[in-house]
């Protein structure tokens, strides 16, 4: 969901707030997007202005000042109603303290805040809030091999429209040979390529450790930003910058010969990757709707 430009309307910091949910509710009374620090005051909290916030990426590398015992972020966007399926405008607030306790509120149609049920929200906003206190973020379920599969399909699509490679993508063996886990020799069937993807042992932790050990940038993330993130939050930022598997397969269906596309699709199915699953979190990053 898109975040509008930062509002100039400031939240009053005079009144203390007794808990994280109260801090969320107070933040939701503001407009625009902002982060506030929670500072102890007579057994409760008061809100103090944090850095400007247009997108979660603006908080990458930000370490909460020592006096902050927690932080709260509020932003506006759209959500899908579970009752009607319609989009509606909402405000969302997320608060965390240094012990990792969290609270999340969202407004309903009449603007009244209510708590989000179920497990802790997962996405860029909770991630940057947790990381500013050095806290671990929830695991990312999507395996990193998805990035390799996306690269493969996008490369094949690109070759299909290259005049110098005319007819090349009509050959499944040539297409399969580009698969990142294709064996040097042997069977290139979708079943075997899918099994290789399922059995791939590389983890997000492995990728994060390699990048931080060698001070590498990955995707749109700088080496400094990667060191500030942990492995699951890095994964979500990298995945969010990519199209979903479903959308890439739609492009492949339009670009590739039918029989070759069926093999590509069978490979994705055999890899047991869930199309589009990595786009369904509370990311609120650039380009969300």
Q: What is the pLDDT of residues 141-168, one digit of tens each?
A: 999 999 999 999 999 999 999 988 888 8
Looking at the structure, tell me whether residues 94 and 116 fall in a common domain: yes
- The pLDDT, as a whole number, for residue 288 is 40
Looking at the structure, tell me whether residues 116 and 160 fall in a common domain: no
Asked if residue 113 belongs to a domain, the reply is yes
pTM to 2 decimal places: 0.81
Looking at the structure, tell me whether residues 159 and 245 fall in a common domain: yes
CA distance 41 to 186: 68
Looking at the structure, tell me whether residues 125 and 189 fall in a common domain: no
CA distance 288 to 57: 13
Looking at the structure, tell me whether residues 167 and 78 fall in a common domain: no
Domain containing residue 262: 145-279
CA distance 73 to 129: 8
Looking at the structure, tell me whether residues 57 and 89 fall in a common domain: yes
CA distance 204 to 230: 9
**Total of domains in the chain:** 2
pLDDT digits (tens, 9 = 90+) for 200-231: 989 999 999 999 999 999 988 999 999 999 99
Low-confidence ranges of the chain (pLDDT < 70): 1-18, 78-88, 108-110, 117-119, 274-289
Which residue, 90, 107, 131, sits at the end of a domain? Answer: 131
């Amino acid at each position: 969901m898109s975040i509008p430009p930062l509002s100039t309307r400031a939240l009053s910091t005079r009144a203390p707030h007794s808990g994280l949910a109260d801090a969320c509710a107070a933040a939701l009374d503001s407009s625009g997007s902002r982060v506030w620090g929670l500072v102890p005051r007579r057994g409760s909290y008061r809100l103090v202005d944090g850095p400007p916030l247009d997108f979660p990426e603006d908080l990458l590398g930000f370490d909460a000042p020592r006096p902050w015992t927690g932080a709260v972020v509020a932003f506006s966007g759209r959500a899908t109603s579970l009752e009607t399926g319609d989009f509606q405008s909402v405000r969302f607030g997320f608060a965390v303290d240094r012990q990792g306790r969290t609270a999340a509120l969202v407004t309903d149609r009449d603007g009244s805040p209510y708590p989000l049920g179920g497990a802790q929200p997962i996405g860029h906003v909770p991630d940057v809030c947790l990381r500013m206190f050095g806290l671990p973020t929830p695991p990312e379920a999507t395996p990193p091999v998805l990035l390799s599969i996306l690269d493969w399909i996008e490369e094949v699509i690109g070759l299909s429209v290259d005049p110098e490679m005319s007819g090349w993508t009509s050959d499944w063996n040539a297409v399969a040979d580009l698969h990142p886990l294709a064996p040097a020799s042997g069977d290139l069937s979708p079943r075997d390529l899918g099994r290789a993807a399922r059995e791939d042992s590389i983890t997000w932790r492995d990728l994060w450790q390699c990048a931080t050990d060698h001070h590498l940038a990955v995707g749109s993330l700088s080496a400094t930003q990667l060191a500030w993130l942990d492995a699951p939050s890095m994964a979500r930022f990298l995945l969010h910058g990519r199209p979903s598997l479903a959308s890439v397969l739609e492009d492949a269906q339009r670009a590739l010969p039918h029989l070759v596309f069926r093999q590509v699709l069978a490979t994705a199915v055999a890899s047991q990757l869930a199309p589009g699953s990595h786009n369904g979190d509370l990311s609120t990053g650039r380009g969300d709707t």
